[in-house]
Amino acid sequence: MINEQGIIAVAALLAIIVIAAAALRGWQGWLELKSREIDRLPREIEGGAGSGMARIEVADLKERIRKLEAIASGVDL
């Protein structure tokens, strides 16, 4: 027969399995929530990149304009 320590071990193992399954389900739900939040963010530039990429692109365009204006005014960079 199963002794007292065996029953405690089986009960502890079952408790760990239940807790792990609940934690996994919660993690998957959280990931789904974050995925939906990302999908709802507005796209600022063509190609569907987010706001961070839009800021980088705007900064790059400003730099190009600055260089073109310097070339047009005859300033050597």
Question: How many angstroms separate the CA atoms of 21 and 60, rounded?
Answer: 47
Whole-number pLDDT of residue 13: 97
In the chain, where the domains are located: 1-40, 43-77
pTM recorded for the entire structure: 0.49
pLDDT for the residue numbered 3: 92
- Encode pLDDT of 14-59 as tens digits: 999 999 999 999 999 999 999 998 888 766 555 555 566 777 888 8
Least confident of 8-17, 37-46, 66-75: 37-46
